[in-house]
A and B are shown apart, each in its own frame.
Chain A
Amino acid sequence: MKPAALLRALFLVLAFGLASAASAKTAAPAKKEAPPADPNETCMMCHADAAAKGAGGKSIAVDTAVFGKSVHGEMQLKCVDCHSDVSADKLPHAEKLKPAACSNCHEDAVKKYTGTAHAKALAKGQGMAAHCHDCHGTHDIKRSKDPASKTAFANIEATCGACHGNDKIVAQAHLPGGNIQVKYHDSIHGQLVDGKTVYNRAAPTCTSCHGAHNIQPKSEADSRVARAHVPDTCGGCHQREKTVFEKGKHGALQHAGNAAAPVCIDCHGAHTIQRASKANWQNAVVGACGNCHDDKITSFRLTYHGKVTTLGPATVATCASCHGAHDVRPAADPLSTVNSANLLATCRNCHPDAGAQLVSWDPHPQPKNKERSLLVYYTNIFMEFLLAGVFLFFGLHTVLWAYRSFRNMAQRGKSGGH
């Protein structure tokens, strides 16, 4: 058996066109030891050599030390448990092997994976799409609990980012959303996971929202990030916000199946979520409200609040300051913060000394709308006429004066000076 194995190994190595020195080294451990009790030894006769290469020139080396420390190594799995199309009786094995058969043990995970965007892309021949080993590794697979694991909480961003944070791959494979890793990394979620300033083990990483094996694009109805499921997905952690959201107008619209109803990500963004207390974010969210309430933003921009939020960065009233954030309600609703009974209290959130008359201030003035306020309407017309009159008269006056001055200069020039 031993010489036969040695011969086979030598034959294999030579057939693969390896240097003779390397082949001697490969053979060495096999020479010393007794017939392998562990069937992995048979494989290692070829694959233990760090320089071993297949016919295609690709390394076929397997680091036994790394494998030994992997979860599969700890469980003393045999190579053939995963590479189940290799048989010790038929060596050398075929040049091209089937992918490792994860489903032999992980039937459930593989079942979830089948039918996902990754699996579909792979089936379509896009070899770049993530397979089990792209996220979990190969011979070095570790339990997710192990901080060194590719699927450990703190490493998931980098694991997904290997593709979704690689501009080349993003462009080549047309990955949706562009370079998501850079967006996510600077978001409040990414920063909490990154833990440079504050660390929160409960903060979401990619898989928290997208799932792990069952990742589906948002266009799929069963996706965790499909619009209809976003409140549930975010509400997994932000339960209080979800409850409040459901009580407001937006939540009611969403519940009624209105596809245009805003969900969490429409105001907060998906991967770019910022801490809500940041002035920059508060100012930017006005634009998000404006995606639907365009006319309200136009009028808001005419006020001091609206101008300062555009100029930024400073903390002044934005939409949410008066309308609330998650439970936006129409003004007619007695519970609304902008219901006439509650207006003064709403103003006093920021202006505790506000007089009772302040409520007649219009936070959405429309100077061109006669119905809204006659006074604003006519003041605006007066100012427009004043400006137009002054500039027209003096504009003409200046042009004529300049004309006369230059004419005089030209005439003086012609008459040869004094």
Chain B
Amino acid sequence: MPSSVTMPMGQAASRPQTAANRYYRRFGLFERVMHAGLMFSFVGCALSGLPLLFPYTGWAKTVAALMGGFHGAALVHRVCAAIMCVVFVTHILQFLWIGLAKGTLLSVLWGPNSLMPQGKDIVDIYQHMKYFLGKGPRPQFDRYTYWEKFDYMAVFWGMFIIGGSGLLLWFAIPLSAWLPGWIFNIATLVHGEEALLAVGFIFTIHFFNGHVRPEKFPMDMVIFTGRISDHELREERPLEYQRLVREGRLAAIEATPPAPGAVMFGRIVGGTALVLGILTVLLIVYGLVMR
């Protein structure tokens, strides 16, 4: 496993052999389905929307033609947008349900189990950069690292920006009874730029951070299987590991190793998204150069 690369030298030998096949549940089925829905609709929106962002390129016409021409691509875009809206709304409802029904809203909004950026993340960024330059040790991460929080927050922000502008454009004519026309100029501008940001970010930065970097190459299966190995949890999220040990909750989340079928499924689905995404980035670069 290339992921062992991140291990400090001394610990490798001392790690107990029995832990090699031990796994813990990191994501439940709900989170994995949410990610799958987001992934599917995001790739769909990207592939069906980009031809209209780069209509002057030859590939735009080809990609649109694969979806049945402009009208086909427009339909794919709206269907995927609707799926993404469902994912987002479901996520918000789940968030509220956890928060209100279980009375844990605070822990979702703040603290080590929250995706909310906090003071430690600023320190982590600084220390991680120092570590990259060989000027310090790797920072100790908790359940969510700062780049994972950025991924999440970027999508959260993007949902309002790209989703809001998209809905404005989708229903521009009926909305024009209440809204001034110039708002659709803003929506067009923002929708296109935010699309570039989102697609460019997910298909390069998120792919690198989450998947193709040497430690994870070719991809991290945790979002598909929901399971993280004992060794990965100790190495990459030591603060979470220590917290779980301290709170005595580690045994409760122990899981069976990922089923080979589930891993294969994740590799095929995730691999397809990975290939499509990287291809999309190349097409965008070509489109930007040809502008």
Contacts and interface: CB of A to CB of B under 8 A. Distances in A.
A174 interface: no
Contact of B182 (A360, A367, A405, A409): A360
B9 A415 contact: yes
A418 B13 CA distance: 8
B190 interface: yes
A89 to B, nearest CB: 74
A401 interface: yes
B57 to A, nearest CB: 10
Given A401-B213, A405-B5, A308 B189 contact: no
Contacts of A403: 132
B169 to A, nearest CB: 7
Given A360-B181, A400-B129, A401-B132, A354 B189 contact: no
B214 A358 contact: no
Interface string B52-70: 1101100011001000011
A380 B192 CA distance: 11
A387 B70 contact: no
Interface stretch (B24-32, B96-104, B196-204, B235-243): B196-204
Contact of A383 (B9, B52, B190): B190
Contacts of B71: 314
B214 A409 contact: yes
A372 to B, nearest CB: 10
A397 B200 CA distance: 15
A249 B73 CA distance: 39
Interface of A is mostly: helix
A303 B188 contact: yes
Nearest to A391: B200
A106 to B, nearest CB: 54
B205 interface: yes
A281 interface: no
A362 B55 contact: no
Given A308-B70, A311-B51, A405-B214, A355 B129 contact: no
B185 A383 contact: no
A359 B183 CA distance: 11
A383 B157 CA distance: 13
Contacts of B200: 387, 391
A351 interface: yes
Interface residues of B, number: 55
A64 interface: no
A280 to B, nearest CB: 12
Contacts of A407: 134
A408 B182 contact: no
Interface in B198-251: 200-201, 204-205, 208-209, 213-215
A407 B132 CA distance: 9
Nearest to B53: A307
Contacts of A395: 205
A312 interface: yes
Interface string A361-375: 110010100000101
B189 A313 contact: no
Interface in B250-275: none
Given A304-B169, A362-B182, A379-B189, A398 B61 contact: no
B184 interface: yes
B197 A313 contact: no
B176 interface: yes
A400 B196 CA distance: 23
Nearest to B217: A405
B84 to A, nearest CB: 20
B193 A307 contact: no
Interface string A258-269: 000000000000
B186 A310 contact: no
A361 B173 CA distance: 11
Interface residues of A, number: 51
A252 interface: no
Contacts of B122: none
B158 to A, nearest CB: 11
Given A354-B176, A386-B197, A387-B197, A376 B186 contact: yes
A398 B201 CA distance: 11
A398 B52 contact: no
Contacts of B119: none
B290 interface: no
Given A302-B188, A311-B55, A400 B134 contact: no
B92 to A, nearest CB: 24
A406 interface: yes
Interface in A302-322: 302-304, 307-308, 310-314
Given A307-B52, A405-B213, A405-B214, A380 B181 contact: no
B134 A404 contact: yes
B16 interface: no
Contact of B70 (A312, A376, A397, A402): A312
A353 interface: yes
A314 B71 CA distance: 8
Interface of B: 5-6, 9, 12-13, 51-53, 55-56, 60-61, 64, 69-71, 129, 131-134, 147, 150, 154, 169, 172-182, 184-186, 188-190, 193-194, 196-197, 200-201, 204-205, 208-209, 213-215
Nearest 4 A-B pairs (CB), nearest first?
A361-B181, A355-B177, A355-B176, A311-B55
20 contacts: A303-B188, A311-B51, A311-B52, A351-B173, A354-B173, A355-B176, A355-B179, A357-B176, A357-B180, A358-B173, A360-B180, A379-B189, A386-B197, A387-B197, A394-B150, A401-B209, A402-B208, A409-B5, A412-B5, A418-B12
Given A361-B184, A403-B132, 10 more contacts: A311-B51, A354-B173, A357-B181, A376-B189, A386-B197, A387-B197, A398-B205, A401-B208, A402-B214, A406-B214
